[in-house]
Amino acid sequence: MINLTINGQKITAPEGSTVLEAARANGIYIPTLCYDEAVEVYGACGLCVVEAEGVPKLLRSCSAKVTEGMVVNTESERVVKSRKIAMELLMSAHDGDCIAPCQLACPANTDCQGYVGLIANGEFDAALKLIKNRIPLPAAIGRVCPHPCEKACRRQKVEEPISIAQLKFFAADIDLKGESYIPECAEDTGRKVAIVGGGPGGLTAAYYLRQLGHEVTVFDMMDKMGGMLRYGIPEYRLPKKILDAEISLIEKLGVRMVNNVKLGREITIDMLKSVNDAVILAPGAWKSSPMRVKGEDAEGVYGGIDFLRSVIQGNPVEIGDKVAVCGGGNTAMDACRTAVRLGAKEVYVIYRRTEAEMPAEEIEIKESKEEGVIYKFLTNPTEIHSENGKVSGMTLQLMELGEPDASGRRRPVPIEGKTEYLALDSVIMAIGQKLDTTDFTELELTDRGNILADEEMFTTSIDGVFAVGDATNKGASIAIEAIGEADRCVKIVDAYLKGVKADVEHPFLSKRDDDTVDVSDREVKPRTNAQVLPAEVRKNSFDEVSLGLTVEEAKREADRCLECGCREYFKCKLLNVAQRYEIHPERFAGEMPQKYNHDENSFIERNNSKCILCGLCVRSCREVMDIHAIGLVGRGFTTDVSPAFSLPLDKTNCTNCGLCVKLCPTGALTEKSTLRKQVPLNEQYSADKVELDGKECSVLVSRYNGKVMRVIPNDENARSVDRDRLTEKVINNG
């Protein structure tokens, strides 16, 4: 036996063994991507280097033999520098996505590819559980989210992005119609957390803190939980019974919910701190931003969220027949479409840019036009006129587009001397919202009047008080942003409660250059969107507009997924090493040595763009299996791993033993996906007739596994009655 020292640890190793073998036998980690006991030493990756006293060069531990009295350092500054360079060179030639673009674009980091794949496979319960790892309100969020995931979806390079948001609430709706999933909670920790605000951010924090075993109380100033999901989103987009059902599942975890309690009125931050171990502020932004135009203090001028809240609470403000909605976002869309449903005869949207620059969802603009909304683009209010204190009209400045501003959109510029007058009964200002700072004087605020919170740690100027969502830093954003922040904040608060340091590192991920992605071989498959109520029907009621996806539609839509993210992500050795060191492979960016290709047989998928030429597949095929199905082709920078004459694997003597797949450290060789199993559909449609309010109503009834999934009105009688009552009648009739 040989005596040696590695990283200060005195060990012994058999004579003739390598430094790598000695280290592994004693639990000392040395990275390597090209070594395996089954094949001869190759030394290709250059990652296993170590420094030995008295030896001027770094040694490759996979081949260097142990010697008596040897002193080895596996993590010296010189060694780490060498490994970082080796990793940067390897990653600069590795063309693959660790995580799909859709997931990277989601502020909550939802595994979109994962749950879409499960839905394609008919595994709806598993899909729902995966979604709830990041989003506790998927049925609500799936209906209202502007889905940044879809904007990043690579399927749009073929035709259109996957309907990711609709698939989310499809899975959630099935869960709500049966025995709903409730996650297990850890044992009680004895720690208490107070949350101010029962909107998406606050409810998310409560959901995940409770699962970690902490006692959680949510305080909200309104009479019901939900925040802007309840009081800022119209019923036709988000039925409140759906929101109620999802909130009740959070409450069933053991979260205590207290309503009609306002910070600064019934409670203070100091009061909450005195009886809790931590406080999370998620109050939202409830104050409408003013337009700062002459006459906006007239009777009949309303803030966008104030107007929507009045309707949702059943006390709509008086808007008259002619209504102007100022703004181009989704709140403006909600306001104009709500005004139509309240019976306004002329509803205008005033927007100072063109339709192409509108931040609102394209489908919202399209459906609002179908409902009769009139758009006045390139106009900007300069004065609101009134008679006897009441709105009578508005002067609009005509605009044209100039140079791009900081947002990248072309700046609207007034056309000198050109204006337009619009006769009106009311004006709705949907140009933004902000925090009401009245009750947050104890905290340090930003120049914009929002709570100043560390963007990584969510800490505020008061120890033990954290803040997330619309009330912080940059201000109001989309609900999924608040959910993502709350999810990350929970990890910070949990560490704080345990007295340990929170991990906020951002690990390295490999990402493909979208410009290099070639999808020309993909079959064109049109996107499947959920059916919506006809415009003439929907504009006269607050019934939910979307009819949702059927099981067949959902599976067909999910099957379009390109599966961009790597299936080997959780066991990729290359990524594991890359994330141990702070690397910058862009330093060596240039032409990729291997063209992206996709070769497969019945069992194995081969993708050379991910190959790092470690040689394990070639050597195991030759040395262990004695088959020689693949080899190294070419020399130098253009070397490639390929069967002879670049034949497909099916045309070689490959036996599909899978050894190469097992040893591949990068995902260049993987087992062929079995994700898309042919699962028999179990949803039936049937025509039915039910009697309600003395009317015989014709309906289409969709059932899945015996459960009524949806009831679709099929004649004028059915469309004229409340859909919830219609559905209840169908269920009661069996």
What region, left, alpha or beta, does residue 273 occupy, with left being phi > 0 and alpha being psi -120 to 50 degrees?
alpha
> Can you give the pLDDT at residue 705?
66
- Over the stretch 374-401, which tens digit does the pLDDT of each residue have? 999 999 999 999 999 999 999 999 999 9
- Does residue 425 surpass a pLDDT of 60? yes
Vertex 694, ends 535 and 701: CA angle to 5°? 55
Tokens of 31: 């990275």
Query: How much is the CA Rg of the chain, to the nearest whole Å?
Result: 30
> Can you give the pLDDT at residue 681?
44
How much is the pTM? 0.88
Helix (H, G, I), strand (E, B) or coil at 585: helix
Averaged pLDDT score across all residues of the chain: 91
235-249, 380-394, 604-618, 713-727: the lowest-pLDDT one: 713-727
- Asked if residue 301 lies in contact with residue 427, where contact means CB atoms within 8 angstroms, the answer is yes
> Can you give the pLDDT at residue 513?
86
Percent of the residues in the chain that have a pLDDT greater than 90, as a whole number: 73
> Can you give the pLDDT at residue 682?
46
Confidence band for 441, pLDDT divided at 50, 70 and 90: confident
> Can you give the pLDDT at residue 594?
61
- How far apart, in whole angstroms, are the C-alpha atoms of residue 372 and residue 121? 40
> Can you give the pLDDT at residue 9?
94
- How far apart, in whole angstroms, are the C-alpha atoms of residue 421 and residue 597? 61
DSSP string for residues in 39-68 = S-----S---EEEETT-SSPEETTTPBP-T
What region, left, alpha or beta, does residue 472 occupy, with left being phi > 0 and alpha being psi -120 to 50 degrees?
beta
| CA 698 to chain CA centroid, nearest Å | 39
Helix runs in 451-498, H state only? 479-498
- Does residue 275 surpass a pLDDT of 50? yes
- How far apart, in whole angstroms, are the C-alpha atoms of residue 351 and residue 399? 10
Tokens of 400: 């044209």
> Can you give the pLDDT at residue 676?
45
Vertex 230, ends 224 and 235: CA angle to 5°? 125
Backbone angles phi, psi at 535, to 5 degrees: -55, -40
Tokens of 42: 């190759």
- Asked if residue 206 lies in contact with residue 176, where contact means CB atoms within 8 angstroms, the answer is no
Backbone angles phi, psi at 90, to 5 degrees: -65, -45
- How far apart, in whole angstroms, are the C-alpha atoms of residue 187 and residue 184? 10
Tokens of 342: 């309240």
> Can you give the pLDDT at residue 599?
63
- How far apart, in whole angstroms, are the C-alpha atoms of residue 697 and residue 712? 11
Which one is predicted more confidently, 32 or 717?
A: 32
Vertex 39, ends 37 and 43: CA angle to 5°? 90
164-173, 277-286, 595-604, 710-719: the lowest-pLDDT one: 595-604
- How far apart, in whole angstroms, are the C-alpha atoms of residue 413 and residue 411? 6
Which H helix or E strand runs over 248?
A: helix 240-252
- Over the stretch 86-117, which tens digit does the pLDDT of each residue have? 999 999 888 899 999 999 999 999 999 999 99
Residue 5 pairs in a beta bridge with: 10, 71
